[in-house]
Structure 1
Amino acid sequence: MSGSVWLPPGARPDTVPGIPGQRTPSWARPDPVDELAERLDDFVAAAVHPDEIAALLESDGMSDDQIRERYGVKNSFALAEELYERNDRRYPEPDGPFHDPWQVGLLGCLLRGVVFALPGLAYVLGAPLLTGPRDFGLPAGTIPLLAGALVGWTWNQGLAHRAYSWLSLGDREAARRSLLLGAPVGAVLGSLVALLVDPVALAFVAGQSVYLGASTALLVLGRERALLLALLPMSAGAALTLVHTVPTAVRAALLLGSLAAVVALGLREVAPRRNEPKGRGELRDKPQRSRSRQTTMGPRLLSSLPYALFGLGTGVLVLYAALGEAQAAVALTLSMGPAEYFLHRFRSGSLAGLRNTSTARAFWRTTTTTLIECLTLYLLTLLALGLAMSTLSPGLLVLGVVLWTGLLLQSFGAILTATTVCCAAALAQTLALLTHTGDPHWVALTVHGTAAAAQAALVCALLGRATAHR
């Protein structure tokens, strides 16, 4: 009868044995990887590389043991590759206009290049103030000046990184405070080193060290135009010496005047602000105390050490170039502004590649093309500057490759790699000169070529990694 249940004779409903439940065969069960791919569809479809997916899986607390048991693959990277293959690429457009933080103006970068080079005119203006015996065939006072400059470049490179780190955390007051405390320490260190090497140029080295600290503060805080204006008296005096004899007293007054202006501007920028909004480090409520140590305590001091050593290594390489041919060093210094512009242009192009490519291979091709374009344009700029300075040395372009790829590795976060290569190159060139091994020109070309090839290979290895372009 419809709707009734058939029972054996004499049986009651409560005595009928239950029907065993049927098991779903393994071939009919849903694939857990498919289920995970569906759940993470939006994220996986927008990933440029499987490593992005692996990072998400690990951040969700999935261990390799759990992944092996649940999904049948050996680890998070294997699961990420599986998910990457199963989902089509799909990149949703962000709401609102696209923000490109790497867009910079060419004029501003050129201005920075000029500001980097102008202090060299101080040596032209102050040469008659340096008297005494020649140092290893070099003009009087050269050795202590070089020693003080190397200490200043090293210290202020690390100081600039620390100040920029505070700025990236939104704490401008802490950045000012680090510059206010760090710049005088660098000036003292540079002067002490010069005193130990040779006190003949102590006053000039002290002024050089003070300038390096004050100008670092102005450059970090974006006051290039103010620095340029402060250097104009000294620059005008150096230009005047080319056509007219300038008395020693006037030379000293012009040097001291520009130095005093730079120091005054620097102090004005780093002085505490009464009405300055407190930075992140000074507005911590209780819920924020669970943040990471770096956020709550600020950037670690040791994190700036590799940047300081990078400044030392590249400084030594540039100084050797200057000793060989002063015009080459001037061209390199002037090219640092365009180098910065083309570095930003590359980062902007790689960011566009992240948005417009759908596979890791296409992204690598895009970034490689952009890299070749930007490096070529920089080398053409350096070549033009070398021609303007009447220097045609292939070593100039090779050293330019070392400096630019080193800066690029630094922007990729591979600062330890760039520092190791540049410091090793500086050490190799130093040992070769001390032991009189080979012709200095060919030694420099060999060392720079090896360093350029090593850094170029490392850059190529990082080009296809989306995480390196963050």
Structure 2
Amino acid sequence: MSGSLWLKPGATRDALPQIPRQRTTEPAPAAGGPAGATALAADPLDELADRLDALAATAVHPDEIAAILESDGMTDDHIRLVYGRADSFALAEDLYARTERRHPAPEPPTAAPWHTGLAGCLLRGLVFALPGLAYVLGAPLLTGPGRYGLPPGTVPLLAGAVTGWVWNQALAHRAYTWLGLGDRAAAVRALVTGAPAGALAGAAVAVAAAGPGERPAALFGAGQALYLAAATVLLVLGRERALLVALAPLAGAVPAFHYDLPDALRIALLLLSLAATTGFAALVLRPRRPGGLARGRGGPPLARSLPYGLFGLGSGVLVLYAGADAVIALTLSMGPAEWLLHRFRAAGLARLRLLGTTDEFRRAVTGALAGCLGGYLAVLLVLATAAALLWPGAAAVSAPRIASLLCVGAVLWLGLLLQAFGAVSRAAAVCLLAAAAQGLAQAHAPAAGPLAAGAAAAVLGLLTRALLVRPTAHRG
């Protein structure tokens, strides 16, 4: 899914030989000529052009044809021997020059695989944000002396949450990979084994990180780990509505903004929501046939899911530094963010079919990227303003605070976009470096903290444009 730079160093278009469109042959010998004399054999390039005509006619750059040739197993030695061209790029230039551009008419939007409904994405954004009410209900459980300058009970909670983010991001990638291969049983099997292991790991880390007086916070962290694992199952398998029903008891946190609820009621609402989420996940993972879940092929390497977990770590740490009201705005914005990601992907595919030159495609994709990113930041700005006004104890709205939040939002959206195009390792590296810089700034120079997110947003913006203006990035 990610694009590749197909031009080799030093290979320029002006240096490549140009081949005429019409095939030339020697005239046939006159009657009475030497016995066995015949016309020259057909140019093998003409035969190759006929075979690749449908693919070459839709290419917007010779590099796409070079990619097809290399994926077909053609080596440079074979190309020099059979076609008399220096390499695959020279051969691709010739094929591109002699093939007329013929782009098919765009398909209806509903037929494109990257179109999705706004309502479904908004629902996902809601189920991402509702768990924040659990921390309002569980506030009395966060007790202890407080460490590292953090509020009481925060250390075990954060330790378990970060563990869950890393594990469940990687697990979700592996399950989605199986779903993309059309093997739902294998995706379910990955979740059956991975989700309980992730819940156990998150709970163990939360308990291990608890200090004196933080046992209630450790128990809350263990419940949080179980919820993250169960919610991952439901979201990956498309059961957002079931998750929304399971989170409904958390609406009892709304009166807690203004009234002191009994601890027994708070704990009962938390346990009811946790039990419902876990129960729905168990029902979804239940084998549908008596034989259980049969084992299939080995699937993608486990190491391929690691960058997704690291991206979850880096982006999660950046979000934590944004503040409670900002976290609410960011999580609510994930629904529109997902919809805009689909919109950009669909726009790229449509322009790939409609436009005939690389420059036109590059300008159109750059405009679509700017429009989608700008639309997401506008939504985030509205949500951040509303959260700052409604969330109890939120910091006052200010230009530096809003700018910092928008930078974090840009990092998240651009990172998710790179992840969707298969460039997750680069996104993870930038997010991890930004999170480390943010942590150092928070400890030694808090005023410089927003600079880390701003620098990360700028780097990801340049990286995204460099990668996604290539037509080959949108193939497949």
TM-score between both structures, scaled by the size of structure 2? 0.84
1:356-375 aligned at under 5 Å gives the runs 356-375=354-373
Q: CA RMSD in A?
A: 2.5
Change (3 A) 1:19 1:344: closer
Change (3 A) 1:189 1:358: same
Q: Per-residue displacement from partner, 1:294-348 (whole Å, max 9, x unpaired)? A: xx421221111111111011011111112xxx21121111111111010001111
Runs ≥4 in structure 1, deviation > 6 angstroms?
20-24, 94-98, 275-279
1:61 aligns with 2:70: no
Corresponding residue for residue 85 of structure 1 = 97
Corresponding residue for residue 153 of structure 1 = 165
**Matching residue within 337, 340, 348 for 1:339:** 337
Query: What one-letter code is carried by the residue in structure 1 that aligns with 2:241?
Result: R
1:220 aligns with 2:203: no
Change (3 A) 1:22 1:173: closer
Q: How much does 1:30 deviate?
A: 6.4
1:355 aligns with 2:353: yes
Q: Secondary structure at the match of 1:321?
A: coil
**Matching residue within 277, 286, 307 for 1:262:** 277
Question: Aligned equivalents of 1:274 and 1:317: distance in 2?
Answer: 44
Corresponding residue for residue 433 of structure 2 = 424
Q: Per-residue displacement from partner, 1:231-286 (whole Å, max 9, x unpaired)? A: 11122x2101123321111111111011101110011111111179988x64xxxx
Q: Secondary structure at the match of 1:138?
A: coil
Question: Aligned equivalents of 2:427 and 2:293: distance in 1?
Answer: 35
* Alpha carbons 2:171, 2:194 under 8 Å: kept: yes
Q: How much does 1:149 deviate?
A: 0.5
1:37 aligns with 2:49: yes
Question: Aligned equivalents of 2:38 and 2:101: distance in 1?
Answer: 37
Corresponding residue for residue 29 of structure 2 = none
Question: Aligned equivalents of 1:342 and 1:96: distance in 2?
Answer: 18
* Alpha carbons 1:177, 1:272 under 8 Å: kept: no
1:166 aligns with 2:178: yes
**Matching residue within 257, 263, 281 for 1:242:** 257
Question: Aligned equivalents of 1:447 and 1:246: distance in 2?
Answer: 40
Q: Per-residue displacement from partner, 1:9-37 (whole Å, max 9, x unpaired)? A: xxxxxxxx99477697xxx9866545533
Q: Per-residue displacement from partner, 1:417-454 (whole Å, max 9, x unpaired)? A: 111111111122223334x1x3x232x22211221111
Q: How much does 1:170 deviate?
A: 1.6
1:10-159 aligned at under 5 Å gives the runs 19=34, 32-93=44-105, 99-159=111-171
Question: Aligned equivalents of 1:47 and 1:214: distance in 2?
Answer: 44
Query: What one-letter code is carried by the residue in structure 1 that aligns with 2:273?
Result: S
Q: How much does 1:98 deviate?
A: 7.5
Question: Aligned equivalents of 1:95 and 1:217: distance in 2?
Answer: 33
Corresponding residue for residue 27 of structure 2 = none
Change (3 A) 1:365 1:129: same
Question: Aligned equivalents of 2:225 and 2:274: distance in 1?
Answer: 11
Q: How much does 1:49 deviate?
A: 2.6
Q: How much does 1:212 deviate?
A: 0.4
* Alpha carbons 2:171, 2:190 under 8 Å: kept: yes
Question: Aligned equivalents of 1:214 and 1:307: distance in 2?
Answer: 19
1:399-418 aligned at under 5 Å gives the runs 399-418=408-427
Question: Aligned equivalents of 2:290 and 2:347: distance in 1?
Answer: 39
Query: What one-letter code is carried by the residue in structure 2 that aligns with 1:209?
Result: A
Question: Aligned equivalents of 1:95 and 1:381: distance in 2?
Answer: 29
Question: Aligned equivalents of 1:147 and 1:30: distance in 2?
Answer: 70
Q: How much does 1:190 deviate?
A: 1.2
TM-score between both structures, scaled by the size of structure 1? 0.85
Q: How much does 1:96 deviate?
A: 9.9
Question: Aligned equivalents of 1:401 and 1:458: distance in 2?
Answer: 13
Query: What one-letter code is carried by the residue in structure 2 that aligns with 1:248?
Result: D
Q: Secondary structure at the match of 1:297?
A: coil
Higher Rg? 1
Q: Aligned pairs, how many?
A: 429
Change (3 A) 1:193 1:372: same
Change (3 A) 1:261 1:19: closer
Corresponding residue for residue 11 of structure 1 = none
Q: Which has the higher helix share?
A: 1
Question: Aligned equivalents of 1:52 and 1:123: distance in 2?
Answer: 51
* Alpha carbons 2:189, 2:293 under 8 Å: kept: no
* Alpha carbons 2:438, 2:450 under 8 Å: kept: no
Identify the structure with bigger relative contact order (alpha carbons < 8 Å, sequence gap 6+).
2
Q: Secondary structure at the match of 1:222?
A: coil
Question: Aligned equivalents of 2:438 and 2:110: distance in 1?
Answer: 46
* Alpha carbons 1:310, 1:423 under 8 Å: kept: yes
Q: How much does 1:193 deviate?
A: 1.4
Q: Which moved more, 1:173-182 or 1:220-229?
A: 173-182
Query: What one-letter code is carried by the residue in structure 2 that aligns with 1:397?
Result: L
Query: What one-letter code is carried by the residue in structure 1 that aligns with 2:228?
Result: L
**Matching residue within 205, 224, 228 for 1:208:** 224
Q: Secondary structure at the match of 2:103?
A: coil
Question: Aligned equivalents of 2:334 and 2:343: distance in 1?
Answer: 14
* Alpha carbons 2:106, 2:350 under 8 Å: kept: no
Question: Aligned equivalents of 1:158 and 1:344: distance in 2?
Answer: 21
Q: How much does 1:66 deviate?
A: 1.9
Q: How much does 1:38 deviate?
A: 4.0
**Matching residue within 451, 454, 458 for 1:449:** 454
Corresponding residue for residue 5 of structure 2 = none
Question: Aligned equivalents of 1:416 and 1:267: distance in 2?
Answer: 32
Q: Secondary structure at the match of 1:241?
A: helix
1:264-283 aligned at under 5 Å gives the runs 264-274=279-289, 282=296
Q: How much does 1:210 deviate?
A: 0.3
Corresponding residue for residue 7 of structure 1 = none
Change (3 A) 1:187 1:38: closer
